Amino acid sequence: MDASSVENDLVNILFTEEEILEKLEEMARRIEADYEGKELLVVGVLRGAIMVMADLSRALERHVETDWMAVSSYGSGTKSSGVVRILKDLDTDISGKHVLVVDEIIDTGLTLSWLISNLSSRAPASVEIATLLRKPEALAMPVTPKYVGWDIPNEFVVGYGLDYQERYRNLRCIGTLAPHVYS
């Protein structure tokens, strides 16, 4: 879906599809260098990371194993409940593996902090994070991603996997959602 389809719902466009793909290419080059000679398991966090995971994986010029997890701390609202549940666990045994968790955004860090702790308890060789976006002002838990596309202000953003009530995920860009949509 193009931004023109929902232009009245967006305050502005932060990143175009071209800018996002370019940033993911940059991240892929760093990941390749850091994991040269190592087997890598890339774990996407469902559902939001679908776009990032797909395009980052395609940008990698090496073999990677992939898997998915679905965790939730939101329920139906826009604020985190603080209680994290695994909705879909990994199908892969990660013991002894280098794991790269891919997410589309780090907001409060509550869910991702819990997820990293959970994965680290499974005896991997390493666990790192790659995220397209991070909101430093919103962080409530110390989460230190190894790869960050952009730091953004603490605004409600949608597109490229990011949603509001399951809408806007298929938007090809990332934009700030207009308050009249969610107020």
pLDDT given for residue 107 in this prediction: 92
Q: What is the pTM of this model?
A: 0.92
Question: Of 89, 119, 107, whose CA–CA distance to 143 is shortest?
Answer: 107
pLDDT of residue 82: 64
CATH, residue 25: 3.40.50.2020
* DSSP letter, residue 167: B
Instruction: Give the pLDDT confidence of 32-53 residue by residue, as tens digits.
Output: 999 999 999 999 999 999 999 9
Rounded distance between C-alpha atoms, residue 129 and residue 116, angstroms: 8
pLDDT top residue among 7 and 102: 102
Which residues are annotated as catalytic? 107
- The span from the CA of 134 to the CA of 148, in Å, is 7
Per the structure, the complete domain to which residue 29 belongs is given by 3-182
What is the rounded distance in angstroms from the CA atom of residue 97 to the CA atom of residue 91? 14
**Helix ranges (DSSP H) in 35-173:** 50-59, 110-120
Residue 81: the pLDDT is 57
Distance CA 94, CA 116 (A): 12
pLDDT confidence tier of residue 13, bands split at 50, 70 and 90: very high
What is the distance between the alpha carbons of residues 183 and 90, in angstroms, rounded to a whole number?
Answer: 36
**140 pLDDT more than 60:** yes
> pLDDT, tens digit, for every residue of 73-84?
755 555 555 688
Domain count, the chain: 1
What confidence score (pLDDT) does residue 74 get?
59
Contacts of 103 (CB under 8 A, 6+ apart): 44, 45, 48, 49, 52, 112, 129, 130, 131, 132
Q: Residue 74 corresponds to which tokens in the numbers above? A: 């939101």
Mean pLDDT of 91-108: 97
3-state secondary structure of 162: strand
